[in-house]
Chain A
Amino acid sequence: MTSQPRAFFAVDLGSATTAAAVLGHVGGRLRLIAHTAAPASVDLDSMLIGLLAQVGRIDPEMFEELCAGDPPDIPTLVATWPRVVARTTPQRRIAVLAGSRRQRRRLEAAALRAGWLVVGGSADEDDPVALSRMVLSIETNAVLLGADHSPAGDEKRHLPDLAALVAAAAQSRPELTVVLAGGAAGYESVFAALADARSRHQPIVSSGVESGAGAFEAEPMAAESWEKAQTKLASPRTETDGEAATDEAVIDGEPPEETVAEPSDSQGPAADSLDAGQPEAEPRDAEETWAEVLVTVEPGAGEPVGAATERVAAADPADPATVDAQAAVALPFVAAEASPVFPHVLLAPDAEAGQPAGASLQQVLEGLRAFPNDSRLGVARSIASLAYVLDRSIETVEIGLQGGLWSRSEPFGEGHFTVVSSHACLADASFAPANPSEEAIDSVIAWSTAVLDRHKAMDRLNDLRLTPWGEADGEGAVFRVTAAKAAFARLIAAEPEMAANPMPELLIAAGGVFASAPPSVVALAMADLVRRHGVCHIAADGARLFGPLGVIEDESERRRLMANLADDILMPLGSLILPAGVRQGRSAGHMRLKGASSAAEIELHAGVIQVVDLPPGRAARADLDFRDAVRLGNRARHFSVDVGGGLGGLLVDLRDIPMRISDRPESRRAALEAWQRGMWPEVDE
């Protein structure tokens, strides 16, 4: 390495899609240079090489500027430039146990919002054998035993038995993480004997194959972590910007240490066994984390302070030269590392703590589930930073293979120096959920424009999960959008409190499922599901940068990057005008659209969505005169709003709020198809 590069890679390792971008200093500020996305099976280094080669071909001068001199060969650049890496945490399952059904539902709600797959049972409803079956199932990664802060009689009498049941199960499965929430924390001493049992449990390594529990674990577990039996107290920490983190105080045992996943030669056969169920190219599992080398750069004279997470796919991680080369450069900020800590017994607040109720427990469970550089949580953090930078209320919907995220951030208070954020991360909001429930199938059928019976819908969803990039064109693309809408609908149904918020000023669609769909269709999907009156801009995270930028730990640094990149990373889809209370059956009124150089007058029709061509980068003022009073923020007949252009244009949605479509399948499909054809004429090709 001869000089400090002026660029770095931002990589989002999703379950279905790998997205990579080059960010560099051009013209005095950080810019998005290029980005690409490919199925997760494609080798990352070859993607980056192709991306840099394109940059070099298209603009050699800028490429030289990024390299701060004569560019070396591209593979060397790929090996040496720093990377900010975010990755999707695989789905994990938690068993929720409580003394009463009431308590179980509260705990389940918090666990679901934290992104866990949840199975639950309560002592007043379920047999101890059934509860043990949930906890002992090898698919269960953690157990949440909870009670009120001061348990009432209905659950208090069951708690000793439940604590004994969970402790016994944890003795049989030392890899299990136990969370004691609320009043259940008083039974911590029941788990004290587990420390010895856990320290005895060691994965058996023979002939290069890791067996035991670890053989099927999705997460890397350093052997040392088994020996550090510890109980932690987790409590939420609220920051001024609305961000929250888990503050852990060690009660018993060693303080948490960083565990670094060392490259291991023994993973080959194990990977064979794990991948055996799927072709090589199928969605990436977390065992690839073993191939990750974490390079920590110590602060030194003349060197930027920080740590970089480097993923080396093709390079030999055991080669010191490779590692040294990667360590030679670093990012000017600290990125979260993929080194999850697995506490054995975690004490957590009860399901009512926090604002809104359950938020504190949600944070604890989220921290337990996700990688420190989890992409989905990174999106939520980035949105909070962006809301501060743009001084706007922002909502983001991110739909992926392992789940979905709905995040809202808005500046608050005097001077708007505080950002209030909330988010829900649901595993069930995957566009292709594993073992889809009847409700998930119903939601897909409800949004489908094609004739689907239940079995066919389930077959297509399961195939979509097996090959997320399969049949991405034609009917497959239509089904993909349908599945994404259904996933978003499940998010909305699960989070009525968030759905009750006012229309945000900016609505962002993120996630791989929206990446390949036409922009106008994505805009329509947003309009179909965000049924709140108001005016908003719609954009997409085209380069999938919110995840990687969200792993930057320093909030001020993240805001600085967002301020530089906001214009580059937001792909404008258009504006949405969504009035409520438009009377059906006759002309709704008129709209005059005045741009810088043109003006147009459009008649508004109730019950339809009208699209006005307004290209990206163009702003206009829309004067709306309704025949009757409608709600568009306020209740009035005349409105004047500023709108921005986008790839989908200006959408004036005069359909009902909430959306009313016929319950008859044929009529419903016809209505959905008519709206879709208006926005997606190519679908009939």
Chain B
Amino acid sequence: MSAVKPPAGREISPELARVAGRRVLVFSPTIRFRLGPGDRALVEPGDSVVPGMPIAERTPDAELIDVGRLDTPNGMPRKPAKGPSAADDKSLEPLWKEDRVEAAAASAMTRPPMAVRATPGSAPIRQDRRRAPVPGKWWVGGAERREKLSKGKPAVRVGGTLLFETHGRWRAAAGERHQIVESPVAGVVRDARNAVEVTIEVAGAAMPGAIAAGEPSRGYLDVPRLTDGELWASALDVGRAGAVVVAGSRISAQAISRARAMSIRGLIAGSVGEGELRDLEASELRQKASLAPSVPFGLIALDGHGRRPIATPILALLAAMAGREVAIVTDPPLLVFDVAEVPLPELPPDWIRVRSGVHAGREGRWLESAGFYRFRGGIHLDAAVVRFFDETDTTVIPVSDLERFVF
């Protein structure tokens, strides 16, 4: 069985319908890249992107720059912004409103189209310069642009986005250093706003995760042999450079450090602890602060923080996709398969998995509803009788601890 679009849901019993459904695949999800002051989008809504294409340019060390007065497109200095005084006198508008002025203003507010494959400093910037200064507009300047050139010092060029204008003078968030953000996926740009965000509608299918950290990254999917559902950190060697590796039930801090050192692009696991996430965040910050940043590295945990093995249907799906290019996206947490057709494992409709509690990670079949049942601690919960696939006896589990797979 394979999926090229969301398959229609199979009929299940009302009791089984009370079990939370876990969607294994989503189709054409929208992903987001957050930008901040000083960052600009290199794409426009409607643009098609492919993996590796620059979509944004970040300014990691953006600081406040007094840009000064900026000329409007017709060469005249822009009128200083007024303070909290009275509103415009509408009665004077007909005296100076002219068609060509309105047309020029309208064109100034419309963003000119940018080349999709733009690189910093090329055509888009020249086009951008012709627009009236507005918040978020890309600005490039240096000491000489601000008439502060000091003798004997090389001119430093900074770039960033305009922030706001007061008393006729513009402020910008700009810096010397810039980093290009490349799209890890193929898709269509849905929104692109300087200093705010770039959103892309992904072409293809994706597997949702619970937690993602690091940076969006891309590589070939490597599904090594797991020992008791775990992957030893020593298995992460240089031979896996460029891969997104399935790392078993839990990612350790040692595995993360080793994977980054081996130029592995990402790790996929059932769970990851908060301590490991903090270590990774600190490592990312150090990496960004260095002058020679390494390749993007991302990790995704499919279930949460508590240790749980990867669900067998998901592991089967990953095994079927082994060797193909996949991308880890952090917002929202997704493992993206660019292909539209994903091989799906065959599962009986009553196949369930325990997602929390003492039996977390175990899988089996739903037998029947057990009604309200008294569990440990004297807690009464809606319960179900299940049979785990490696047992002959039945077990009563709270329905709220179960999940079923929805493709």
Q: Tell me the A residues contacting B by CB distance below 8 Å.
A: 38-39, 41-43, 46, 127-129, 132-133, 136-138, 160-161, 163-165, 167-169, 171-173, 186-190, 192, 200, 204, 206-207, 209, 211-213, 215-216, 269-270, 272-282, 455, 458-460, 462-463, 466-467, 469-474, 476-478, 516-518, 680, 682-683, 685
* Interface check B134, CB cutoff 8 A: yes
Residues of chain B with a CB closer than 8 A to A474's CB: 357-358, 375-377, 379
Q: Is the interface of A mostly helix, strand, loop or mixed?
A: helix
- CB of B326, distance to nearest CB on chain A (Å): 15
Contact A132–B197 (Cβ < 8 Å): no
Pairs across A and B, CB under 8 Å, 8 listed: A171-B136, A207-B201, A276-B332, A459-B305, A462-B211, A470-B356, A471-B360, A472-B375
* Contact B29–A41 (Cβ < 8 Å): no
CB contacts (< 8 Å) of A277 on chain B: these are: 208-210, 212, 332-334
Q: How far is the CA of A685 from the CA of B164 in the complex (A)?
A: 64
With A161-B166, A270-B30 in contact, do A211 and B201 touch (Cβ < 8 Å)? Answer: yes
When chains A and B are docked, how far (Å) is the Cα of A458 from the Cα of B304? Answer: 12
Chain B residue at minimum C-beta to C-beta distance from A167: B164
Complex contact B197–A138 (CB within 8 A): yes
Q: Quick check: A470 and B401 within 8 Å, CB to CB?
A: yes
A129 lies within 8 A of B37 (CB): yes
Chain A residues whose CB sits within 8 angstroms of the CB of B375 once the complex forms: 472-474
- Once A165-B163, A273-B332 are accepted as A-B contacts, the answer to whether A467 and B355 lie under 8 Å apart by CB is yes
* Mask: chain B, 66-108; 1 = CB below 8 Å from A; 0 = not: 0000000000000001111111100000000000000000000
Q: Which residues of A contact B62 (CB under 8 A)?
A: 129
Q: Which of B17, B30, B85, B381 has the most CB of A within 10 A?
A: B30
Determine whether the beta carbon of A39 is less than 8 Å from that of B377: no
Contacts of B381 in A (CB 8 A): 472-473, 516
A204 lies within 8 A of B45 (CB): yes
The answer, yes or no, to whether B263 is at the interface (CB within 8 Å) is: no
How far does the alpha carbon of A200 sit from the alpha carbon of B134 in the complex, in Å? 15
Contact across chains for B206 and A280 when beta carbons are under 8 A apart = no
Which residue of A is nearest B336, CB measured? A276
- Knowing A279-B21, A474-B375, the reply to whether A171 touches B135 (Cβ < 8 A) is yes
B403 interface residue per 8 A CB criterion: yes
Q: Does the CB pair B356–A46 fall under 8 Å?
A: no
- Confirm or deny: B63 has a beta carbon within 8 angstroms of a beta carbon on chain A: yes
In contact, A680 and B378 (Cβ under 8 angstroms): yes
Q: A275-B26, A275-B208, A455-B273 are in contact. List 8 more A-B contacts (CB 8 A).
A: A138-B34, A168-B163, A173-B193, A204-B191, A207-B201, A213-B191, A276-B29, A473-B376
Q: Which residues of A contact B82 (CB under 8 A)?
A: 189
Contact of B406 among A168, A274, A280 (CB under 8 A): A280
Known: A463-B306, A467-B356. A280 touches B23 (CB 8 A): yes
- Partner of A472 from the list B188, B197, B400 (CB cut-off 8 Å) is B400
Pick the residue among B194, B201, B377 that contacts A209 (CB under 8 A): B201
Say if the beta carbon of B260 comes within 8 Å of chain A: no
Partner of A281, one of B109, B275, B403: B403
* CB–CB A685/B377 < 8 A: yes
Interface status of B64 (Cβ within 8 A of chain A): yes
Cβ-based interface call for B222 (8 A)? no
Quick one: which of B196, B210, B273 contacts A138, CB cutoff 8 A?
B196
A contact residues around B191 at 8 Å (CB): 204, 211-213, 215
A462 touches B305 (CB 8 A): yes
State the CA gap A216–B196 with chains docked (Å).
13
- Judge whether B32 is part of the interface by a CB distance below 8 angstroms: yes
Is residue B274 within 8 Å, beta carbon to beta carbon, of the partner chain? yes
Closest to A138 in B: B197
Tell me the minimal C-beta distance from B68 to chain A in angstroms. 15
Cβ–Cβ contact B403 & A136, under 8 A: no
**Inside 8 A of A458's CB, which chain B residues have their CB?**
274, 305
Shortest C-beta distance, A23 to chain B (Å), equals 22
Closest Cβ of chain A to B284, distance in Å, is 17
Nearest-CB distance from A27 to chain B (Å)?
A: 28
Within 375-389 of B, Cβ neighbours of A (below 8 Å) are at 375-382
Closest-CB distance, A667 to chain B (whole angstroms): 24
Q: List A contacts of B37 (CB < 8 A).
A: 129, 132-133, 136
B398 an interface residue at 8 Å Cβ cutoff?
A: yes
Question: What per-residue 1/0 map shows which CB atoms of B204-228 lie under 8 Å from chain A?
Answer: 0010111110000000000000000
Chain A residues near B305 (CB, 8 Å)? 458-460, 462-463, 466
Considering the chains assembled together, what is the distance between the CA atoms of A346 and B375 in angstroms?
51
What is the 8 Å Cβ interface bit string for chain B, positions 134-173, against chain A (1 contact, 0 not)? 1110000000000000000000000000111111000101
Identify B18's interface contact among A42, A192, A473, CB under 8 A. A42
Q: Chain A contacts of B22 at CB under 8 A?
A: 279-281
Contact (Cβ within 8 A) A276 B26: yes
Residues facing A in B315-359 (CB within 8 A) are 332-334, 355-358
Determine if A280 and B334 form an interchain contact, defined as CB atoms under 8 angstroms apart. Answer: no
B87–A192 CB distance below 8 A: yes
Known: A39-B400, A269-B28. A281 touches B20 (CB 8 A): yes
- Closest Cβ–Cβ distance, residue A257 to chain B (whole Å): 24
> B196–A211 contact, CB under 8 A?
no
Judge whether A209 and B379 touch: CB under 8 Å.
Answer: no
Q: Which residues of B contact A (CB under 8 A)?
A: 6, 14, 17-18, 20-23, 26-32, 34-38, 45, 62-64, 81-88, 109, 134-136, 162-167, 171, 173, 188, 190-191, 193-197, 199, 201, 206, 208-212, 273-275, 304-306, 332-334, 355-358, 360, 375-382, 398, 400-401, 403, 406
Residues on B with C-beta less than 8 A from A470 are 355-357, 400-401
B334 near A136 with CB under 8 A, answer no
Cβ of A129 and Cβ of B17 under 8 Å apart? no
A residues less than 8 Å from B14 (CB atoms): 46
Q: Is the CB of B208 within 8 A of A215?
A: no
Q: Which residues of A contact B31 (CB under 8 A)?
A: 273
User: Which 3 residue pairs across A and B have the least CB separation, nearest first?
Assistant: A281-B20, A211-B190, A470-B356
Chain A residues with CB below 8 A from B275, complex form? 455
Pair A216/B32 contact, Cβ less than 8 Å: yes
Q: Given A133-B36, A160-B84, A172-B136, check contact A38 B382 (CB 8 Å).
A: yes
The smallest beta-carbon distance between B29 and chain A, in angstroms, is 4
CB distance from B366 to the nearest CB of A (A): 15
Determine the residue in chain A with the shortest Cβ distance to B188.
A206
Q: Are B135 and A172 in contact (CB under 8 A)?
A: yes
| Minimum Cβ distance to chain B for residue A272 (Å) | 4
B282 to chain A, nearest CB (A): 14
Chain A residues near B188: list those with CB within 8 A: 206
Point out the residues of chain B lying under 8 angstroms from A478, CB to CB.
377
Bound CA span A420–B238, Å: 69
Least CB distance, A348 to chain B, in whole angstroms: 16
Rounded to whole angstroms, the CA-CA distance of A190 and B83 in the bound complex is 7
Q: Is the CB of B164 within 8 A of A164?
A: yes
Contacts of B164 in A (CB 8 A): 128, 132, 161, 164-165, 167-169
Beta-carbon contact of B173 and A129 below 8 Å: yes
In the bound complex, do residue B208 and residue A168 qualify as a contact, i.e. CB atoms below 8 Å apart? Answer: no
Q: Select B26's contact among A128, A163, A212, A272, beta carbons within 8 Å.
A: A272
Contact check, A472 vs B379: say whether CB atoms are below 8 A apart.
Answer: yes
Choice from B29, B88, B379 contacting A477 with Cβ under 8 Å: B379
Instruction: Chain A residues near B333: list those with CB within 8 A.
Output: 276-277
Knowing A172-B135, A212-B191 are in contact, say whether A38-B18 is a contact too (CB < 8 A): yes
Q: Provide the residues of chain A in CB contact with B83, threshold 8 Å.
A: 160, 187, 190
* Distance of A529 from chain B, by nearest CB (Å): 21
The reply to whether A41 and B304 contact each other, CB–CB distance below 8 Å, is: no
Report how far A211 CA is from B87 CA in the complex, Å.
Answer: 34
Closest approach, in angstroms, between the C-beta of A323 and any C-beta of chain B? Answer: 24
> Which residues of chain A come closer than 8 Å to B206, judged between CB atoms?
276
Q: Determine the residue in chain B with the shortest Cβ distance to A184.
A: B84
Q: How many whole Å from B20's CB to the nearest CB in chain A?
A: 3
Taking a contact as CB atoms under 8 Å apart, the answer to whether B210 and A281 are in contact is no
Q: Name the B residues within 8 Å of A160 (CB-CB).
A: 83-84, 166-167
B357 — which chain A residues lie within 8 A by C-beta?
A: 470-471, 473-474, 476
How many Å lie between the Cα of A522 and that of B276 in the bound state? 35
Q: Is the CB of A278 within 8 A of B84?
A: no
